[in-house]
Every structure is written in C-alpha cells, then in structure tokens.
Amino acid sequence: NSEQNHAWHPSNYSRKFLGLVTLQEALSHSLNLATINLSDQLGFEKIYQSLSDMGFKNLPKDLSIVLGSFAISPIEAAEKYSLFSNYGTMLKPMLIESITNQQNNIKTFTPIETKKITSKEQAFLTLSVLMNAVENGTGSLARIKG
C-alpha cells in the first residue's frame, strides 16, 4: 500500500513557509513548523513533563502534544482552559451549580479544588494569543458576533 510508505511530515496550516515570525503569529495562524522549532529549543521531555504536571493523562509521546492535536474530553478541556480566565489557577469543573428542593430551598456548590498552574501575567499572555487566533487567525470559526 503506497499510503503506508509515506511518513507524516508536519506542515503549516496554510501549507506555506512564512519565514521569521513572532510566537503570537505562529500560534494564531497554526504555523506548526515554528511550534516544532520552539519545542526543539525547549526540549520535548520538558514539555511532556509540564503537560503531565498540569494533569493531562495518557499523553502520547510524539509531536501531537506540541501541536495540540491529542485527544481530551470536553470536561478536561474546560478544566484546563479555566486557568486562563482564573488568572493562572485551574478549577476542577462542577456539573452541578445548585439544587432546589420542593420547598424552594437552594443548595449551591462552589468550586473547591484549585491548582495554581502559572502566573497571572503568563495566563494573560496566553489568553491574548488565544483571542488573537479567534480574531485574526485560524480560530476565526470560533468567533461569536456581538
């Protein structure tokens, strides 16, 4: 089978090489080659360990973790993304906010489990990159008008 003889080679989303770019441009426009170059500089093992420390489970030991293309559940994604809106602190998701009994007594639940992942500043910078991807990059389909 000829398909089995072809090794996968990462490429940019646009299939074009854009030369020297900023990290924000690389992430906003899915420039996978820049991301792979960054992982080479940081070290794959360090990235793998950082993701493990954040609580990611069953990570593959390949470039999919660098490109953000490994599988996680929607609830796990909500947990991981919570650190950006909570200034670097990750919250364990809760599926129940409150319960009302027949007497209209309301029992509310507040998130208790938190984990400090990064600084407020780093969370803000990462959030700005994510927002830029939606406003100006390959994440434009996630844009909500309003």
User: Could you report the per-residue pLDDT of 83-142, keeping only the tens digit for each?
Assistant: 999 999 999 988 888 999 999 999 988 777 899 999 999 999 999 999 999 999 989 999
Identify the domain containing residue 83 by its residue range: 73-140
Residues 64 and 21 in one domain: yes
In a domain, 94, yes or no: yes
In a domain, 146, yes or no: no
Average pLDDT over residues 57-79: 91
> Mapped to the 3 state alphabet, what secondary structure does 5-71 carry?
HCCCCCCCCCCCCCCCCCHHHHHHCCCHHHHHHHHHHHCHHHHHHHHHHCCCCCCCCCCHHHHCCCC
Q: Tell me: pLDDT of 62 over 80.
A: yes
Q: Is the dihedral of CA 58, 61, 67, 70 positive or negative?
A: negative
Residues 49 and 78 in one domain: no
The count of domains in the chain is 2
Specify the higher pLDDT residue, 18 or 71.
71
Residues 11 and 26 in one domain: yes
- Eight-state DSSP code of residue 116: E
